[in-house]
Amino acid sequence: MKYSPINKNLFIQNRERFVKHLKPNSVAVFNSNDIMPTSGDGVRSFIQNSDIFCLSGIDQEESILIICPDAKEEKYKEILFVRKTDEKIAVWEGQKLTKEGAAEISGIKQVHWTSEFENIFKALVFEAEYIYLNTNEHLRAEVTVETRDERFLKQCMAAFPLHKYERLALIMQNLRTVKSSIEIQLIQQACDITEKTFRRLLGFIRPGVWEYEIEAEIYHEFLRNRSRGPAYQPIVASGTNSYILHYLTNDQQCKDGDMLLMDFGAEYANYASDVTRTIPVNGRFTKRQKDVYNAVLRVQKAAIEMLRPGNILETYNKEVGKIMESELIRLGILDPDKVKEQDKEKPLYKKYFMHGTSHHLGLDVHDYGSKYRKFEAGMVLTCEPGIYIREEGIGVRIENNILITYDGPADLTKNIPVEAEEIEELMNR
């Protein structure tokens, strides 16, 4: 892996927290993701399932984790299965994890080859009452490809129809929402790589450059800093592209006078950063561009202050909406009289700020976290207000990554330039 070794105590502690959520006499199974095909004999780069990584640190395909805290023998309470390397695999793909290597990464003493899984699992299941299996229960997920977890679920329920089945997703959502100190360090490292990248871009962007050239600079800086690459597909949106929320083609030329919205974040050790900055292509905001930009920045600063223990997303978003409403009136975009008469369920500001302000961040860019759960110390959320004015061809979004603490919000991206004057200064050095 490109990243430095992770302290195995992270995974040991995560498993200790996990077993407290299981019913007595249970066995839980976590599968790696598949390697996804393209066409012919092509494949995509492997990206590990975030749940098995959370509990084991194993970043290799065809790995399986069993956790069975009430197993009759101590050695079967947690078992890791990894793919065995043979001579052909070693020649074509390189060495895979050894048993000793997998044990060192995960802190799991009992490591077997994946080929041994079926017999060991069957013996444990026959002694168990509950089987915990994993499914993708993310609200934003639109899964059209059958995953390894889904295939295993079908096989397991067919082979053991009389057992009681439970959902792992609820446990993992609860477990992963609050980050440990080690995880926060890893997210911070991803944010720091993103900072280096943004600073690089400020010296590169100029009228005439193409969006895909900027994207290439992003990849370059990520990879040279031990990131696998972006935590999600970068958005590099100039001019009128800047008000397309998920613009991904990145194939237009940046023109003099355009604004450029860049939404990108480095991944480090499977942990994500997620940052957006909007800058003037020529290095100088027009008065109108700066007015809109500073309005978004004021909303963001106020929103960040609300990311404190005890608040909840629904209340938070409503309060941010009120602040945004005031800024849009100040910009002359909303009529204050019409705002007074608006349908409270369909506020007028939504035409210009149509997405949520924050989402959880961690092993996934849109990480686990219930909208009904109160904010707690250790949660990491984005803060990303925006104003999108189609009539003027202006789209501005500013996004930082915020750690909630008892002492107030801590900005993990505070070193990434955000003030309009600082951006102009750095672009014109």
pLDDT tens string 57-92: 999 999 999 999 999 999 999 999 999 988 888 778
Which tokens is 10 given? 């992270």
The percentage of the chain sitting over the pLDDT mark of 70, rounded to a whole number, equals: 100
**Residue 215 annotated in active site:** no
**Residue 359 annotated in active site:** yes
**Residue 384 annotated in active site:** yes
Gap between the Cα atoms of 227 and 237, Å rounded: 23
**Residue 246 annotated in active site:** yes
Domains of the chain: 9-176 (3.40.350.10), 181-427 (3.90.230.10)
Gap between the Cα atoms of 16 and 166, Å rounded: 19
**Residue 397 annotated in active site:** yes
Positive or negative CA dihedral for 273, 279, 281, 284? negative
Residues paired with 27 in a beta bridge: 131
The pLDDT of residue 141 is above 80: no
Read off the pLDDT band of 54 (50, 70, 90). very high
pLDDT at position 298 is 98
CB–CB of 183/170 below 8 Å?
Answer: no
Q: From the candidates 62, 263, 267, 327, give the one annotated as an active-site residue.
A: 263
CB–CB of 380/187 below 8 Å?
Answer: yes
Q: From the candidates 15, 228, 277, 397, give the one annotated as an active-site residue.
A: 397
**Residue 352 annotated in active site:** no
**Residue 399 annotated in active site:** yes
pLDDT at position 53 is 98
pLDDT at position 91 is 78
Which tokens is 89 given? 């695999």
Gap between the Cα atoms of 237 and 260, Å rounded: 6
Q: From the candidates 41, 337, 343, 407, give the one annotated as an active-site residue.
A: 41
**Residue 366 annotated in active site:** yes
Phi, psi (rounded to 5 degrees) for 208: 100, -20
CA angle (248 as vertex; 243, 254 as ends), nearest 5: 65
**Residue 355 annotated in active site:** yes
CB atoms within 10 A of CB 144: 4
pLDDT at position 88 is 84
Q: From the candidates 21, 308, 366, 373, give the one annotated as an active-site residue.
A: 366
CB atoms within 10 A of CB 29: 23
| pLDDT tens digits along 292-310 | 999 999 999 999 999 999 9
Q: From the candidates 140, 246, 343, 372, give the one annotated as an active-site residue.
A: 246
Q: From the candidates 316, 359, 360, 367, give the one annotated as an active-site residue.
A: 359
